[in-house]
Amino acid sequence: MASATATHPAETKAPGPKHNIEAMREEYYQRIAKHGMTPLWKVMSSVVTKEPVTRCQPVIWHYDDIKRLVMESGGLITAEEAERRVLILENPGMRGESRATNTLFAGVQMILPGEVAPAHRHVSSAIRFVLDGEGAYTAVEGEKSYMSPGDFVITANWAPHDHGNTSNKPMLWLDVLDFPQVNFFEASFAEHFEEATQSTSRADGDSLAFYGSGVLPDGAPAHMNRSPVINYTYARTRPIIERMMKAGDIDKRHGARVRYANPINGGPVLPTMGAGLALLPKGFKGEKYRSTEGSIFVCVEGRGTTTVDGKVLEWGPNDVFVVPPWKHFSHNAEKESVLFSISDRPSQEALGIWREDTRTH
Ligand SMILES: [Fe+2]
């Protein structure tokens, strides 16, 4: 580039001191760039933001579209060929990145009658929330758990798992995985097994009975950073939020809500993802709320709207929607409704960065 001290024709005005310093800085930035350095003061406000900045957008996927399009994939590829026949729910603010929020993957998986999704394991943990169908199973850690709508199944870090459908109807569920977090740390491993299905040593429901009933087996570990329960069934959880509502234990923002808990330590079910189930009474008009977690919601029952940052998302059964971090949102229920939610709050809490806005508006 031209030097700031270059001579100029006499009739042009000589560059002032400000021009000089800017040219000197520019020349300096170019010189340090050759050494792999760059000035923090030029990017400070964008790397240390005053408030959370997100590319994640509020968005909803309606179940009639999901089901129609996922069913269509059944004629194009088998579960075995695909390994996992899943349509990714991609956030419009992050297309091409396989994520629903900045830290969570979401997809809808379908298993047709007689199909098997072969055994594998990976560092990423998964939550499966059953949307449709009855009688497909997830085999994980020696237990084959048959799933029903509203059930919430976990496969933790490195747990071998396979799925199959022994019923005569397709089964669809929402898969939520933490792999955007694992990949942020560049710490992903995965492997496949020779056998498509694993042998099981426990009866269906053993893990829930042993660990989720107010007792623990002798010899249960004192520390465990993920829950030993495989399937938190809707049949057990739904009546609990009903009781909460009847007892008047209704949060003004979240409704009558429970958090799925690890019975060993009372913490979240997985170290990277937490989940909850909330009952909103008919006519519920939730107060505005925001926190730093990015959340994925599923309407399990009912009908209503969630307003996120001024955008109204209208939901009905099995619709899936996203609330980005630090955006105000409020729920309204036209009918008595149940909302399931998953977020990255456990990761943020473990790192000491989770915050919520408790101001009333
Ligand atoms: Fe998997």
Q: What angle do CA 341, 317, 174 make, to 5 degrees?
A: 50
Distance of CA 120 from the midpoint of ligand 1 (Å): 6
Q: What is the DSSP letter of 288?
A: P
Q: Alpha carbon of 48 to those of 101, 123, 290, 292, 294: distances in Å?
A: 20, 30, 20, 15, 19
CA 60 to ligand 1 centroid distance, Å: 24
The order of strands in the sheet holding 231-232 is: 86-88, 105-111, 171-177, 126-132, 152-155, 231-232
Angle, vertex CA 280, rays to CA 277 and CA 283, nearest 5: 165
CA–centroid distance, residue 335 to ligand 1 (Å): 36
- Spacing, Cα 98 to ligand 1 middle (Å): 15
Across the chain, mean pLDDT equals: 93
Q: Are 271 and 347 in contact (CB under 8 A)?
A: yes
Q: What angle do CA 311, 317, 321 make, to 5 degrees?
A: 35
Sign of CA pseudo-dihedral 138, 144, 146, 149: negative
d(CA 193, CA 186): 23
Quick one: pLDDT at residue 4? 45
Single pTM value for the model? 0.92
pLDDT for residue 10 is more than 60: no
Per-residue pLDDT tens over the stretch 285-340: 999 999 999 999 999 999 999 999 999 999 999 999 999 999 999 999 999 999 99
Write the CB contacts of 282 (distance below 8 Å, at least 6 apart in sequence).
333, 334, 335, 336
Q: What is the pLDDT of residues 241-267, one digit of tens each?
A: 999 999 999 999 999 999 999 999 999
What spacing in Å lies between the alpha carbon of 3 and ligand 1's midpoint? Answer: 59
- Mean pLDDT over 112-139 rounds to 94
Tell me, in angstroms, the distance from the centre of ligand 1 to residue 352's CA.
Answer: 29
Q: Which stretch of DSSP H or E encloses residue 181?
A: helix 179-184
Between these two residues, 193 and 32, which has the higher pLDDT value? 32
Q: How far is the CA of 168 from the centre of ligand 1 (A)?
A: 23
Q: In angstroms, what is the span from residue 232 Cα to ligand 1's centroid? A: 18
pLDDT given for residue 200 in this prediction: 84
Spatial CA neighbour of 320 closest among 90, 139, 138, 153: 90
